[in-house]
Structure 1
Amino acid sequence: MGNSIKSAQFLIDARLSRAAAGSAEECFDLGVAYSCGTGGVVIDLIEAHKWFNLAALRGSEQGQSMRAEIAEEMTAREIAEAQRQARAIIATTQLRAA
């Protein structure tokens, strides 16, 4: 069982790297993982909203839809935190690209 947890964490880490670099599909996949608890992650709606938001900003219509759907289950503070985290990733990736 330890190997499956390590394997799942490796896949999440790889997705995080690709998503932060600009892949809308990877952002969406991370949003799904965090909203459903798949891929070895714990359900975290703030993380899910953040990744769906980034997917939406990168052109994903599914990201827009899922972001709106999970926002209905979140408090205003949770949404604000997810947005703050998304902005931080955008700022970081823009700095690396410059």
Structure 2
Amino acid sequence: MSVELDHVTLNGAEKIFSADDLYRLGLEASTPGVGEETDLITAHKWFNLAALEGSEMAKEYRQQLTLEMTSREVAEAQRQAREWLKKRRPVLAVVK
């Protein structure tokens, strides 16, 4: 028996992010490099998504960012996280 893979399809497939991946994206957004600006909204979004996947460190960082952000910024970060999930997490139908 052989398995044939369509590498074009595989290369175009969406990456599945782990809690650690999402946490690292939050760190990158919250600690920019030289000449870059901190993006607290994006950082909060990634930490929020990592926290949903079980990252305790992301929960702590998200909490700290919330103290530095306005309520509108937090709401925007949450909206972006929901949008990200909606686009990337298919709704699972329960078959009975």
Per the shorter chain, which TM-score range?
0.7 to 0.9
The whole-number CA distance in structure 2 between the counterparts of 1:89 and 1:61 is 20
Q: TM-score, normalised by structure 2?
A: 0.73
- 1:18-33 matches, within 5 Å, as 18=15, 21-33=16-28
Any gaps of 5 or more consecutive residues in structure 1? 1-16
Higher percent of residues as helix: 1
Q: How many residues align?
A: 80
Computed over aligned residues only, the root mean square deviation of the Cα atoms, in angstroms, reads: 2.5
Q: 1:41 to 1:97 in 2, by over 3 A?
A: farther
Question: Quick one: which of 66, 73, 88 aligns to 1:71?
Answer: 66
Deviation readout 1:19-73 (Å, 9 max, x if unpaired): xx33110110010011111499631000000000000000000010000001100
Q: TM-score, normalised by structure 1?
A: 0.72
CA contact (8 A) 1:22 1:58 kept: no
- 1:1-98 matches, within 5 Å, as 18=15, 21-38=16-33, 42-95=37-90
Any gaps of 5 or more consecutive residues in structure 2? 1-13
